Amino acid sequence: MVKSSKGFRSRSRGTFTKEARERGLPPLTRFLRQFEIGQKVIVRIEPSDPHGVPHPRYQGRVCTVVARVGRAYRVEFLDGGKRKQLVANAIHLLPSGGAKGAA
């Protein structure tokens, strides 16, 4: 038997598949979105843009924006009581509904 690949996008077919009418790139405003420090965001990976993608295990996680890192954002969250940080581009982050500055 052949050994299965353990790449970065392995076992993520459902996460990285769009519906038929959603295929292609999202609107340009999604790429240009700005977040404020302290704002709550949701990690939602955009499959059509492979740049600045956080690991698929963090899909759906609610995080707090800590800093701006170039064009990306550093976000922080608790994982089993341990504080962790991710760096993700704005296209892979959605504003959370219950936070300040959310649109």
pLDDT in tens, 38-60: 999 999 999 999 999 999 999 99
Q: Tell me, yes or no, whether 79 lies in a domain.
A: yes
Determine the average pLDDT of the residues in 84-88.
97
**Would you state the pLDDT for residue 41?**
98
pLDDT tens digit string along 5-43?
Answer: 888 888 888 889 999 999 999 999 999 999 999 999 999
Distance CA 103, CA 98 (A): 10
User: Residue 24 domain-assigned?
Assistant: yes
Q: What is the pTM assigned to this prediction?
A: 0.85
CATH of the domain at 26: 2.30.30.70
Question: According to the model, what pLDDT value does residue 98 have?
Answer: 65
